Structure 1
Amino acid sequence: MSNEDMEKENATLLTEFILTGFIHQAEWQIPLFLVFLAIYLITMVGNLGLIALICNDSHLHTPMYLLLGSLAFVDAWISSTITPKMLAIILTKSKMISLSECMIQLFSFSFSATTECFLLTTMAYDRYVAICKPLLYPVVMTNRLCIRLLVLSFAGGVLHACIHIGVLFRLAFCNSNIIHHFYCDIMPLFKISCIDPFINVLMVFIFSGSIQVFTILTILVSYTLILFTVVKKKSLQGIKKAFSTCGAHLLSVSLYFGSLLFMYVSPGSAQADGQNMMDSLFYTVIIPLLNPIIYSLRNKKVLDSLAKMLKRNV
């Protein structure tokens, strides 16, 4: 029996953890709760409303809006994975979370974060075809191809989450049951493992790193080609139309990947737990709130569809 196995066998294994959440004074408890509750409600109304709008309007049953609706679904999912537990931590004195709850939350977060990466990449490809090959767009970017890309995106998210959860079962937690975070993220779990998490860290580096490199490079290539195409047109109206079409997606991509890279590529030892939590808060709570606003306010078809729906209901 190896030393690692003996250590795992002899340790007093922990099956419950304490999520510290945000360190705040008692007088901030209610204001923080109300702020995050408002953010969560607006996020759900915005994303689920966008999905309902796309489903109910046949004019929006095109690849671009199927992708946008899927992104809204994933944003609602990730927000519901993180925010309700965070609200419970802020409001109540009980900060306990069981090992099984922790694993479910980690799986759900990993699935949704990975799927969002793939969806944003697919949306960049969709914009590339629309601007660089406009005459071929209806032939290339069909609803059938869009659905296949969506299935691959969601399947990739599930597979990536399964890999990390599967490897996580090799660890044992006995050094501490305190997770300095507001949800079960993978890096804080490694810190309290009494088994060397080297293999797990390596798996994160290989798989998460590969996904981020692939998706970011694909998006950069897509938008580089779009930029060249727009510059060649030398038409002010064409340039305005291209930036109008791509502006919302570029902003969303910049916010999402920027926060992810800052969180996972920066050396962990150089960042305090509080800074890690602020970075995580941005892409798990703030971005799901912003995305439906970004895409809706800059999209004439969505605004027109919303206006029509409101007129019917008045």
Structure 2
Amino acid sequence: MSHKILITVLWITILSTNSLFAKEFDSTHELPKVITPDKHRVFIRGVDGSGGLRFPVMDYLKYEPINYMLVNGFDEYAALNAFSKQKDQTGGSRQYELEYRYLDKFRLIYENRRLVNVPTSDNDSEGFRFKESYKGFGAGYFHPLSPNFNLGVSLRRVSLDQTTTIGTVTFNFLPTNSGVGIMGRDFGMQAKGYVPGIHLEIKPMRWFEIHLGNQFYNIVGDDTKVRVDSVPFTFRNVTTNVMFYELANGNVNYTGEKTTLDFIFRFSSWFATRWGYSVEKYRVKYNNYFIFLGDIDSSVVYSALEGSQKQKMEYSSLNITVEFSKSFGE
């Protein structure tokens, strides 16, 4: 589902809701009742999500053999890797939320999410292990345009911590290259910043709501890469392990948007469920990037090539939320 489909669904909902309110209701068709805002209310939510996932390291590995050929010339093995199709990844997320509302207008929210790739029989051969830890704390103001419509703005302070590990073991039995090799790679990115958002809440019925939100990311952080390979080499019946390593570091800009659409069903004053869909699309751009490969000349060339690349982070998920709430005061 794209952004255009989400916007289309929103406008259809608004038009149909306005049509409902414009009718003249008789004694058997009263206007839908809405919940009177509490002075104080606290919400606790648990959100499970699942969907397609693409993380930045996948783009890095896609460009890596191309960079190698630009520096060293054509290589059959590198060309095969450059043009082979990467396997699709599936993501699974779990988020916990704590929210406080005053008169339903002024809101404070804390969010904590863990997102990982889910290995399957189709993609586990690539050995990816991706994990993202997200924490957000912020405030919002939601203005009631009518008893059935709220328009809100929010501002969150967020922190992201993404890690990807790739570990493989090789078994070689060639006369000049026999033994067990170990190849390990670790990728890490940490970013922080403020994320504004705009939100619309539609409450056509007391027990049913529709929420649409959009958050705008433009945060900064650091990126690190570490690679250590131990490759066996046999000469005159003597096998030794040759070590190969890479160290990289740079500043990153993490920009993009997160769009959410939720349908809320309130079964009582204290319990509700949400069924929704979210689309997250971000871009990672390097600043002051440098990779050390063991010699200065190669390091400078590869730093320029890799530092100019942009990588994508995308996650489109179906979400199910369980919500508990409690009011306080008058």
TM-score after normalising by structure 1:
0.23
Larger Rg: 2
TM-score after normalising by structure 2:
0.22
Larger strand proportion of the pair: 2
